[in-house]
């Protein structure tokens, strides 16, 4: 961004009070903000007591060597014990931990007592395979219970896991295995996606021709498809794990014991291995899951639709919910298999009360039509969550109306792989929500918006989102590269963590996320966020989804180019394109009118649903399309390019 701060174009006046009943029985009330403000460290020390410690910490934060933090450093705990055993010991062994729903329609119910046995057997198996405390294990699995069991088994013995998206190529897996120096890989023959078995093991077989160090490969049989087998290296899960003893004594590890490495997709350059450790991470994931979802473990059925290979799957499928003793749904497949109502059928079947999904999914459901969720009984839902991208106000309203019966509160949760847990979000029993805003830092979190000179911007202005105090679940470093950790996150603004996102504060001081600053457009000297133009487009009744980029332009510096997906009922013609341009002009002002609007059927997205604007910029500027290895579906770019000439409309 240049010196001119980020323009504040979008106005949104709608407000929604929390339901009275929810407010009256909420896990967390407004006083949490006050207590945390009075003594932030005492607040986090109190939250750490939500966990079972083998040795209670006496220190809270060690910030003597910034930006390298230690939280609860003299405490010792076992993360898996906290997520599993302690619930069984407390008498909840019969409570369902996981309702697993396979894509083909198979299902499994796993209680906490059964989960304890499974995790213990897997921990014994890892030990039998020579994995010990301090080692790294790569996990490349579909969305099946073994993914969660593997993560917890690693945590139990103090080995760090590195989960790699099941969709990544052999090369992407190889570079991640090499960077983490993993000793063992856990994979499956395949998983079910879009109605078909989709192979996983061939990518591991190929990756292992490129890297050394992996001694064994543990293979879950999920689809029964043919696999190549390397004798002496490969071992079946059902042969090794299922025959282990279900007894395993969990040793305590240091609070700062590495728990996992997770590689960020990183739009450019080598992926960064984000390192998270144990005590602080588990404290903040458990606290935020309790506070933001108001989880009542005895009665709620929670479902997070994220993939386990995304940080959301780590923090809000495996660690936060299980630390809190939640009952949750895990679904293997895609939302349109075998029909476009699959998610709602699952909500109805398990009487899901808390649903956590991504804006990209919500916009897809908008595109498919209101009549689909209307066919199912969604009355069990009491809280809806959103994560991954800014949620456009119209998508937010659609979510509340069509999924939440016009009354269910929505929590728009801002956080990152690097932050480990939620940072900015409404509290469902406290906050008067605003469609499209993540609103306030959670209790114990310090975040604000600054200008180029690190000065806090006044209410009503935009700039850079920064975190001004360390937090328990913060990344500890970039694996093997402390300097990169300092340079990437702590160098732009002295003493502050720069998140890479643009944001604005409204007149009430509430925070609105405006997308990555790399995506901000500079049009005739004005910084305009892609998010605001996209939200204006999604505010038009014909539009389901849009992606906006700035393309080099001789007169204005950059020109706004919009890629638009229409709702099921709309007709793509020149009148509509003119109408859309005028609509943006009316909503945000003439400066934000797209120069070109291209109607497309798909947008390029990562597996966590983030739009890869870099690739669209390549198209808008007539360049060859760059690196597409982190795309969820690599055929999308061809589809978009093939579609374009007919919808071009230079004006
Ligand atoms: C959890 C996760 C992090 C980036 C982040 C921001 C975007 C996530 C958001 C959001 C607006 C939200 N992001 N949640 N933007 N509102 N509620 O997504 O982690 O995959 O590392 O991505 O995602 O741009 O900086 P990760």
pLDDT of 267 reads 53
The Cα 8–Cα 529 span in angstroms is 9
pLDDT of 616 reads 94
Q: What is the pLDDT of residues 475-503, one digit of tens each?
A: 999 999 999 999 999 999 999 999 999 99
Task: Specify whether the CB–CB gap between 414 and 424 falls below 8 A.
Answer: yes
The Cα 175–Cα 397 span in angstroms is 41
Task: Specify whether the CB–CB gap between 456 and 470 falls below 8 A.
Answer: no
Query: Stretch 198-220: mean pLDDT, rounded?
Result: 97
Mean pLDDT lowest among 387-401, 425-439, 450-464, 606-620: 606-620
Report helix, strand or coil for 250.
coil
Does 312 contact ligand 1 (Cβ within 6 A)?
Answer: yes
Task: Specify whether the CB–CB gap between 449 and 457 falls below 8 A.
Answer: yes
Atom 1, ligand 1: which residue's CA is nearest? Answer: 416
Residue 415 CA, ligand 1 centroid: distance in Å: 5
Question: What is the signed CA dihedral for 632, 358, 162, 195, rounded to 10 degrees?
Answer: -50
Angle, CA of 591, 596 and 598, to the nearest 5°: 135
C-alpha distance across the termini of the chain, in Å: 27
pLDDT of 411 reads 98
The separation between CA 382 and the C-alpha centre of its own chain, rounded to angstroms, equals 21
Does 438 contact ligand 1 (Cβ within 6 A)?
Answer: yes
Distances in whole angstroms, Cα of residue 383 to Cα of each of 16, 379, 404: 13, 11, 8
The two tokens of residue 83 are 């997520």
pLDDT of 648 reads 44
Annotated binding-site residues read: 193-196, 312, 388-390, 412-417, 501, 516, 524, 538, 540, 543
**Cβ density class 400-433: b for 16+ within 10 Å, e for less:** bebbbeeebbbbbbbbbbbbbbbbbbbbbbbbeb
Task: Specify whether the CB–CB gap between 195 and 209 falls below 8 A.
Answer: no
- Sorted by sequence, the CB contacts under 8 Å of residue 458 that are 6+ apart come out as 505
The Cα 230–Cα 425 span in angstroms is 48
Residue 528 phi/psi, 5-degree rounding, is -120, 135
Annotated binding-site residues for ATP read: 388-390, 412-417, 501, 516
Atom 18, ligand 1: which residue's CA is nearest? Answer: 388
Mean pLDDT of the chain, nearest integer: 94
Position 204 pLDDT exceeds 50: yes
pLDDT of 269 reads 64
pLDDT confidence tier of residue 4, bands split at 50, 70 and 90: low
The Cα 61–Cα 65 span in angstroms is 11
Q: What is the pLDDT of residues 5-14, one digit of tens each?
A: 788 888 889 9
Q: What is the pLDDT of residues 562-615, one digit of tens each?
A: 999 998 778 888 899 999 999 999 999 999 999 999 999 999 998 788 999 999
Residue 463 CA, ligand 1 centroid: distance in Å: 17
Position 127 pLDDT exceeds 90: yes
Query: Stretch 434-449: mean pLDDT, rounded?
Result: 98
The two tokens of residue 558 are 């950059």
Task: Specify whether the CB–CB gap between 216 and 235 falls below 8 A.
Answer: yes
Q: What percent of the chain has pLDDT over 70?
A: 97
Domain boundaries, the chain: 540-643
Give the per-residue SS3 of 471-513.
CCCCCCEECCCHHHHHHHHCCCCCCCEEEEEEEEECCCCCEEE
The separation between CA 565 and the C-alpha centre of its own chain, rounded to angstroms, equals 23
Q: Which atom of ligand 1 is nearest to the CA of 418?
A: 21
Residue 516 CA, ligand 1 centroid: distance in Å: 9
Residue bearing tokens 């269910």 = 408
Q: Which atom of ligand 1 is nearest to the CA of 386?
A: 17
Residue 553 CA, ligand 1 centroid: distance in Å: 29
| Residue that wins the pLDDT comparison between 362 and 574 | 362
Annotated binding-site residues for Mg(2+) read: 538, 540, 543
Per DSSP, what are the bridge partners of residue 565? 545
pLDDT of 650 reads 42
Residue 361 CA, ligand 1 centroid: distance in Å: 14
Atom 10, ligand 1: which residue's CA is nearest? Answer: 389
Residue 142 CA, ligand 1 centroid: distance in Å: 23
DSSP state of 591: G
Topology of the domain covering 540-643: GMP Synthetase; Chain A, domain 3 (3.30.300)
Q: What is the pLDDT of residues 526-549, one digit of tens each?
A: 999 999 999 999 999 999 999 999
């Amino acid at each position: 961004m240049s010196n001119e701060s980020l323009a504040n174009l979008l106005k949104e006046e709608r407000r929604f009070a929390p339901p009275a009943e929810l407010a009256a029985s909420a896990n967390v009330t407004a006083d949490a903000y006050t207590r945390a403000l009075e003594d932030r460290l005492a607040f986090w020390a109190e939250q750490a007591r939500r966990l079972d410690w083998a040795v209670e910490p006496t220190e809270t934060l060690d910030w003597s060597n910034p930006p390298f933090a230690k939280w609860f450093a003299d405490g010792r705990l076992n993360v898996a014990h906290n997520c599993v055993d302690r619930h069984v010991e407390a008498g909840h062994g019969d409570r369902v931990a996981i309702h697993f729903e396979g894509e083909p329609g198979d299902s499994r119910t796993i209680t906490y007592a059964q989960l304890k046995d499974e995790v213990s057997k897997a921990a014994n198996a890892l030990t039998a395979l020579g994995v010990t405390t301090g080692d790294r294990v790569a996990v490349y699995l579909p969305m099946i219970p073994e993914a969660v069991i593997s993560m917890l088994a690693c945590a139990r013995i103090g080995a760090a896991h590195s989960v790699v998206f099941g969709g990544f190529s052999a090369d992407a897996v190889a570079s991640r295995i090499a960077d983490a120096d993993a000793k063992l890989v856990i994979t499956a023959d395949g998983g079910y996606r879009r109605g078909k078995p989709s192979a996983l093991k061939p990518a591991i077989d190929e990756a292992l021709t490129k890297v050394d160090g992996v001694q064994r490969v543990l293979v879950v049989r999920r689809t029964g498809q043919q696999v190549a087998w390397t004798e002496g290296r490969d071992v079946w899960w059902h042969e090794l794990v299922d025959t282990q003893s279900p007894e395993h004594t969990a040793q305590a590890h240091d609070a700062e014991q590495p728990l996992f490495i997770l590689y960020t997709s990183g739009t450019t350059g080598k992926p960064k291995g984000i390192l998270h450790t144990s005590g602080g991470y588990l404290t903040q994931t458990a606290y935020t899951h309790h506070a933001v979802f108001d989880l009542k473990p005895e009665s709620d059925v929670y479902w997070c639709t994220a993939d386990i290979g995304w940080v959301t799957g780590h923090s809000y499928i495996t660690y936060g919910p299980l630390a809190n003793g939640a009952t949750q749904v895990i679904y293997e497949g895609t939302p349109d298999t075998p029909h476009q109502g699959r998610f709602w059928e699952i909500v109805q079947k398990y009487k899901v009360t808390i649903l956590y999904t991504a804006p990209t999914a919500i916009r897809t459901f908008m595109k498919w039509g209101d009549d689909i969720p209307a066919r199912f009984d969604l009355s069990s839902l009491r809280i809806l969550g959103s994560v991954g991208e800014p949620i456009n106000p119209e998508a937010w309203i659609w979510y509340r109306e069509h999924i939440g019966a016009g009354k269910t509160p929505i929590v728009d949760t801002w956080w990152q792989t690097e932050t480990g847990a939620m940072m900015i979000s409404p509290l469902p029993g406290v906050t008067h929500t605003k469609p499209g805003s993540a609103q306030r830092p959670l209790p114990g979190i310090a975040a604000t918006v600054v200008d180029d000179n690190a000065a806090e911007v006044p209410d009503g202005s935009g700039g850079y989102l920064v975190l001004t105090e360390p937090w328990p679940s913060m990344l500890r470093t970039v694996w093997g590269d402390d300097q990169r950790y300092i340079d990437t996150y702590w160098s732009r603004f002295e003493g502050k963590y720069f998140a890479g996102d643009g944001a604005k504060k409204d007149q009430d001081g509430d925070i609105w996320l405006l997308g990555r600053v790399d995506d901000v457009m500079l049009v005739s000297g004005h910084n305009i966020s892609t998010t605001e133009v996209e939200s204006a487009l999604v505010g038009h009744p014909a539009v389901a989804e849009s992606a906006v980029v700035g393309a080099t332009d001789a007169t204005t510096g950059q020109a706004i180019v919009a890629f638009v997906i229409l709702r099921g009922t709309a007709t793509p013609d020149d009148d509509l394109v003119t109408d859309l341009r005028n609509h943006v002009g009316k909503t945000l002002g003439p400066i934000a009118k797209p120069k070109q609007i291209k109607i497309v059927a798909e947008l390029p997205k990562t597996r966590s649903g983030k739009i890869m604007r870099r690739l669209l910029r390549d198209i808008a500027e007539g360049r060859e399309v760059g690196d597409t290895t982190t795309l969820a579906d690599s055929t999308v770019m061809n589809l978009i390019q093939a579609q374009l000439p007919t919808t071009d409309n230079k004006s």
